[in-house]
Amino acid sequence: MVDHIISATWIAPVRPENTVLSDHALAIKQGKIVALLPLGEALKSWPEAPYEHLDNHLLTPGFVNTHTHAAMNLFRGMADDKPLMDWLTNHIWPAESQWMSPEFVRDGTELAIAEMQAAGITCFNDMYFFPNIVAEAAQKAQMRAVVGLIVLDFPSAWANTSDEYFDKGLQTHDQVSSYSLVSTAFAPHAPYTVSDKPLIRALTLADELDIPLHIHIHETAGEIEESNARYGVRPLERLSQLGLLNPRLLAVHMTQLLDAEIESLSKQGVNISHCIKSNLKLASGFAPITKLLNAGANVALGTDSVASNNELDLLSEAKLAALIAKGLSDDAKVVPATQALEMLTINGAKALNLDTVIGSLEVGKSADIVALDLSGVATQPVYDPIAQLIYSCSREQVRQVWIAGKQVIKDGLHTRIDTSRVLALAKEWATKITSTNTGNE
Ligand SMILES: [Zn+2]
């Protein structure tokens, strides 16, 4: 017996590659996919099982957001149209030092999870203060998350010293070992905010715990200049000397890369989180994803936070990533829709070391599934469902979402999150932040 059967007009399982199955069904038991087979066979095998057919819908694996700072949803639209260092040092960091608390992180993260689930994102990789609270919020909302054990050289509301960042990070790692949907990564913020000793310690611990290492790298040209002046080498060279460049590393941004760096990153198996919208908005440059993909690198997608985006919508990131790669390379063939779908799903899973659990609709994997309704005027007729997904769909077409077999979005509505409460809290925070921030400019 299986718990339930979901069928749809089209299923794009991502593995095998470039495949669309018509009138197939997924059989789900205890949160896992136990069969993917023609609908008729499924109904014959399990005639008693609860069964749902989604006509004119496309099923895909849940989207994997490989880089965000979820709680920053409470800063959406607070400081726009500023370059990165001005934005960070004059707006975001002062606001964080004033408002950071477990309550801020809980309310902001819940708002972000609500936005992500509705957009088909079923897993997010977070880097923020109070990762213990992020983990609690995710598990409670039936959301898969990798929480970053943040490390910084300077004090915050979360930790005062380097030792305290590590102690609290390790406590969080122990805490989430009993959470079915949450795992951890070490998350030193960036080469310009973390010195050598804590970088080496984060690498050593990530190796011991067998978890990813999540870090912003080569986000802007200014970061390279500063590193050259301070350390005499580019940030990547410094990280290479410290031993950080390996398949454990998830390097976020990477807008400034030399051809030789692209070659060596790809050889070393470094994973890239491409945050195209955040990079565009902060005018930081472009990650050379066509060259990275051609060199064999694993390129996944990230939204970054809504403070620099301003939305957690990975499907629109995939479309933009594909279009900009084509435009920059003068070649319409690069980043085809099937590759964009892989960047949305399996590449993200691989970057987070979760590709045995999620990223494709295969037997044995978790039932993390998105159903998009293609019946409307914006998405008909359908010749190629994967191209339709990347080039025509928006998050408005996401109608049903399951995480580990449990439905979190049903007919476009949340089942796990009380959105009216979350929205009321967001408004309360904005009122408080606005009342004290006047005169900040
Ligand atoms: Zn970021």
The 3-state secondary structure of 218-278 reads: CCCHHHHHHHHHHHCCCHHHHHHHCCCCCCCEEEEECCCCCHHHHHHHHHHCCEEEECHHH
Reported as a pLDDT band with limits 50, 70 and 90, residue 83 is: confident
Q: Where are the domains of the chain?
A: 4-61+359-404, 63-351
Going from the Cα of 68 to the center of ligand 1, the distance in angstroms, rounded, reads 6
pLDDT at 250 over 80: yes
Same fold, 4-61+359-404 and 63-351: no
Going from the Cα of 311 to the center of ligand 1, the distance in angstroms, rounded, reads 13
What dotted CATH number matches 4-61+359-404? 2.30.40.10
pLDDT of amino acid 440 = 43
- The closest alpha carbon to 112, from 67, 74, 65, belongs to 74
Reported as a pLDDT band with limits 50, 70 and 90, residue 87 is: confident
Going from the Cα of 216 to the center of ligand 1, the distance in angstroms, rounded, reads 6
* Helix ranges, 101-220 (H): 102-118, 131-140, 162-175, 196-209
Q: Tens digit of pLDDT for each residue in 381-394?
A: 999 999 999 999 99
Distance from C-alpha of 346 to C-alpha of 398, rounded to nearest angstrom: 19
Count other C-beta atoms under 10 Å from residue 166's C-beta: 18
Q: What share of the chain is helix, strand, coil (3-state, %, to 5)?
A: 45, 25, 35
pLDDT of amino acid 439 = 43
DSSP string, 307-362: GGSS---HHHHHHHHHHHHHHHHT-TTSS-HHHHHHHHTHHHHHHTT-TTTSSS--
- With H, G, I as helix, E, B as strand and everything else as coil, classify residue 101: coil
- Cβ atoms of 154 and 193 closer than 8 Å: yes
DSSP 91: I
Going from the Cα of 361 to the center of ligand 1, the distance in angstroms, rounded, reads 29
Going from the Cα of 212 to the center of ligand 1, the distance in angstroms, rounded, reads 16
Going from the Cα of 307 to the center of ligand 1, the distance in angstroms, rounded, reads 10
pLDDT of amino acid 437 = 61
pLDDT at 189 over 70: yes
Query: Cα–Cα–Cα angle for 391, 371, 109, nearest 5°?
Result: 90
pLDDT of amino acid 441 = 40
Going from the Cα of 219 to the center of ligand 1, the distance in angstroms, rounded, reads 9
Q: How far apart are the first and last CA of the chain?
A: 62
Distance from C-alpha of 71 to C-alpha of 112, rounded to nearest angstrom: 7
Query: Cα–Cα–Cα angle for 316, 122, 253, nearest 5°?
Result: 50
pLDDT of amino acid 367 = 98
pLDDT of amino acid 436 = 72
Going from the Cα of 432 to the center of ligand 1, the distance in angstroms, rounded, reads 24
Domain 63-351 has CATH 3.20.20.140: yes
Going from the Cα of 127 to the center of ligand 1, the distance in angstroms, rounded, reads 7
Going from the Cα of 252 to the center of ligand 1, the distance in angstroms, rounded, reads 7
Measure CA 430 to chain center: 25
- The closest alpha carbon to 217, from 229, 196, 235, belongs to 235
User: Residue 323: is it exposed, middle or buried by C-beta count within 10 angstroms (0-12/13-18/19+)?
Assistant: middle
